[in-house]
Amino acid sequence: MFDNMQWLNEPPRWSVDEDALVITTGDRTDFWRETFYGFVRDDGHFLGREVTGDFTAQVTLSGEYEALYDQTGLMLRADENNWVKTGVEFTDGLTHLSCVITRDFSDWSVITAPEAADSVTIRMTRHGTAVRVQYLTTAGDWQLLRLGYLPLPATCQVGVMACSPQRAGFTGRFTGFSTTEPIARDLHD
């Protein structure tokens, strides 16, 4: 499941046991570009593999979310200026589902998701220049979180990421990571 993947910013501690990857973050790590805060951060932990063309990536996330902006998720990355990260992020004292799309400047969207404090499954699908992000509800349905535009080269990196912009030592757990052919383009049942 995590074979043939390479680190960008390898964390100080990580391990793979059976089907789970466990990451413990370094100090003040993040992926962000410019917007609102005026800084560029490209030192979050990302374990990725090359994918060419359209695909769907999926993973189940859990973590010890305690400090502002602790996060786990999926990442699709062309380079340091063009990428998407999505998953669980701790802000305002609660877990949220979060998505950041970056085209030289990062944007950020969140929805409150207290049930994600235990675990949540998310998936990301590339359909050409469109990136679709969904999460699995407690009822077992896939819910749209974000549909965004990101012009990408044919081959990119996709994988899992973890960040802790306010501290060191955040631990995130990733299970069931997969990359497959893209799901159908239908947005509505």
User: Model confidence over 142-156: pLDDT tens digits?
Assistant: 999 999 999 999 999
What is the total count of domains within the chain?
1
What pTM was estimated for this model as a whole? 0.96
Q: Is 184 domain-assigned?
A: no
> Which token pair is 87?
């998953």
- Predicted confidence (pLDDT) per residue in 117-176, tens digit: 899 999 999 999 999 999 999 999 999 999 999 999 999 999 999 999 999 999 999 999
In angstroms, rounded to a whole number, what is the distance separating the alpha carbons of residues 57 and 144?
15
Nearest to 145 by CA among 135, 157, 130: 135
Which structural domain range is residue 97 located in?
6-174
* CATH number where 154 lies: 2.60.120.200
In angstroms, rounded to a whole number, what is the distance separating the alpha carbons of residues 121 and 142?
9
Q: Is 180 domain-assigned?
A: no
- Predicted confidence (pLDDT) per residue in 23-66, tens digit: 999 999 999 999 989 999 999 999 999 999 999 999 999 999 99
Largest CA distance in the chain: 44
Q: Is 61 domain-assigned?
A: yes
Q: Is 38 domain-assigned?
A: yes
In angstroms, rounded to a whole number, what is the distance separating the alpha carbons of residues 69 and 71?
6
Q: Is 122 domain-assigned?
A: yes
